Amino acid sequence: MPQPQLERLAIEDVSKVYGDHVALRDFSLDVAGGEFVALLGPSGCGKSTMLNCLAGLVPLTSGRISIDGDRIDPLPPERRRFGMVFQNYALFPHLNIGRNVAFGLESRRVARSEIRARVARALGQVRLEGLADRYPSQLSGGQQQRVAMARAIVLEPRLILMDEPLSNLDAQLRTELRTELRRLHQDLGLTTIYVTHDQSEALSLADRLVVMRNGVHLQIGTPATVYTEPADAFVAAFMGYRNLIPARRRSARDGDVIVELADGVTMRGVDRGASTDEQVVVAVRPSDFTVVPAAGSDDEATGENAITCTVRVVEYQGEESAVEAEAAGGLRVHFRTTERVATGERVAVHVDPSRLLVFAADA
Amino acid sequence: MPERSRSLRDRLAERGIDRVLWLLLPAAALLGMLFVYPFLYGLGLSVQSQEGTPGIGNYLRFFGDDFQRSTIAKTFALAIPAAALNVGISIPIAYKLRGPVRHKRVITTLLVLPATLGTVLVAEGLIRYFGPIGWFNQLLMAIGIIDAPLQLTHNYIGVMASLIITGFPLSLLLVLGHASGIDPDLERAAATLGAGPSERFRRVILPLMLPGITIAFVLAFVAAFAVFPSAVMVGNPSGETRVISIAAYQAAFERFDYPMASAIAMIMAALQFAVVGSVFLVRSRLYRGSTSGAKG
Ligand SMILES: Nc1ncnc2c1ncn2[C@@H]1O[C@H](COP(=O)(O)OP(=O)(O)OP(=O)(O)O)[C@@H](O)[C@H]1O
Ligand SMILES: [Mg+2]
């Protein structure tokens, strides 16, 4: 496996201000050579801005970016030797696929025979042999995406930047190409920074995740860490904790907290930085709820860490159903179950205390 | 019965013929009345003498007479450089203005304003400001750069200036309209691939702008070719700016030789057609598709 071309990319206190809007605030991140880092966050959180700052396409307001100790932020994009894959691919419509892939090599005055060989190899790596004479408009979306990839990797860039490269494709193609991206990253020893707003894409591709919001990162960690130990309620929401229920903190014991949800329902959960505030947020994944027999019509009689509720909406999803139910006080609860439940039915759902995370209310 | 008519419609649609196209019918009829009929009438008139005897005498006389024939060269000497300059100046400006630019609307309005003035007003302005006693010459003399006024009007320079002032806005609008449609990510992609600013312009932006540039050139040329008011008002209509439309005017309204005037009009049409046709021939070999990097 080829060695990565850089040891360490350091982003230090980078800020970007558009007019009076702060798109990035004191953003710092270290990336090791060969790493696959995903920037994840909702629309408008500054992911593309960070990527464009790295590529040199937008100037920094402040901060510095360096590679192995050399500052690169003053360099124009054409001198950074990074590859970039754009969301809409940005293939040159007037050039055929071969010329598109050869574009960067021609800029570098590489010899003609070498260009031909390297273009053929790059098209092979993205499995597009034989399409060199087609024009971009004659390719499918998935093929265009591969051309964009080939055009970037043919230059053997020291860093690959990808801005939502799969978001214009249908779900099946997306999973397929996801595997290919990861394969290319490993086979070619690339260092990759990947922007996405799709948590499953980020979790499956990246070695490390950076969850962003409003121009700052909230959590940096391995997919497993971010998934199981989200730093706050916002990250939790992004990681699939669909139930975010405001609650009051009652008491604490051995890292566990007792919280009171609306109308006297108390539950036990893990303290995740809920500090000593009274107002907290309880986070539970829909799949962590299990349906237990409801103890008659009497609300309080259900077992520990369970809520009694009335089924409102059932979405059939094959193996399972996604259910929205309403508990006392208008509380909405989302859970998944393999059991058959019907709209209007009274059920009780239970969650293990280790799966109920308690965060500070104001993230 | 409905099935039959439907399949006919589908067959037509496959060839790009659609019911909406019938809406073009009135326009086509109008074009026939306003253009084709006078053209054929003029063509018929041009191949007879003033007494009505058929023959190509008018054409022979035009090309046989140095004074008349030289109007062709004089017209081209104005129209080609004027069109090239108008489009040539438009390209860098359109390139700069194509993206989001501060005060873009004000800038475009100012640049395009001269088109609303009309040839006559521009000619008057040119005479007033650039004439022998205009402020431009006065100023240069006051500073002491020149001793005698520069001859800037009533010659080739005056007509060229008028053609640029009135023709440039249209060229700019056409080129800008086309350039604005170019996906800005294409240039950014070229930059990340190692292309510097001039290479990006040469290899990405210019090829994508070319179709718009050729259209703008053709229209600028046609407009300049028919130059008449400025050639008379700020030119030297009996000398260096005696363009072909003046020859036609004089034949028709000074000598009342309508067949000759028609012949000159036919010659003008043929010349313009030759230039426009060759530009389009070149254009047909250029890339003319989408200017965005994404699938449409
Ligand atoms: N050229 C610009 N001028 C002004 N504001 C901008 C500009 N570009 C981006 N912004 C603002 O900066 C913020 C971050 O934008 P950015 O494009 O980085 O978001 P993003 O995380 O990539 O979102 P998305 O997932 O929708 O692509 C947004 O609020 C956006 O409105
Ligand atoms: Mg973005």
- With a cut of 60, say whether residue B2 has pLDDT above it: no
- The CA distance from A106 to B140, in Å, is 51
pLDDT of residue B144: 87
Short-list B123, B150, B145, B130, CA closest to B230: B123
The amino acid occupying position A325 is A
Query: Where do the domains of chain B lie?
Result: 74-295
pLDDT of residue B294: 57
- The CA distance from A40 to A22, in Å, is 18
pLDDT of residue B296: 41
Fold category of B74-295 in CATH = MetI-like fold (1.10.3720)
Contact present, A216 and A202 (Cβ < 8 Å)? no
B52–A contact, CB cutoff 8 A = no
Is the C-beta atom of A21 inside 6 A of ligand 1? yes
- With a cut of 80, say whether residue B292 has pLDDT above it: no
Task: Compute the average pLDDT of residues B53-71.
Answer: 92
Is the C-beta atom of A197 inside 6 A of ligand 1? yes
- The CA distance from B181 to B202, in Å, is 17
Short-list A133, A132, A165, A134, CA closest to A149: A165
pLDDT of residue B101: 82
Short-list A56, A50, A55, CA closest to A14: A50
The amino acid occupying position B141 is M
Q: What value does the mean pLDDT of chain A take? A: 91
Measured in angstroms, the CA of B217 and the nearest CA of chain A are apart by 21
Q: Please report the residues numbered 125 through 184 in chain A whose beta carbons come closer than 8 angstroms to any beta carbon of chain B.
A: 135-137, 139, 141, 144, 151-152, 155, 161, 168
pLDDT of residue A31: 97
As a whole number of Å, the end-to-end CA separation of chain A is 42
- The CA distance from A148 to B39, in Å, is 53
Q: Give the β-pairing of A192-196 and A243-253.
A: unpaired
pLDDT of residue B295: 46
- Report CA-CA distances (Å) from A315 to A326, A337, B155: 15, 11, 83
Listed as ranges, residues in chain A with pLDDT below 50 are 297-301
Is the C-beta atom of A46 inside 6 A of ligand 1? yes
Q: What is the pTM of this model?
A: 0.84
> What ipTM was estimated for this complex?
0.86
Q: Pick A92's closest partner by Cβ from B192, B194, B204.
A: B204
- Distance (angstroms) between ligand 1 centre and the Cα of A51 equals 11
Report which of residues B100 and B59 the model is more confident about: B59
Which position has the token pair 């960070």?
A50
Q: Which residues contact A72 (CB under 8 A, 6 or more apart)?
A: A56, A65, A66, A80
pLDDT band for B3, please (50, 70, 90 cuts).
low
Which position has the token pair 């007792």?
A258
- The CA distance from B219 to A354, in Å, is 75
Contact present, B108 and B174 (Cβ < 8 Å)? no
Percent with pLDDT over 90 in chain B: 51
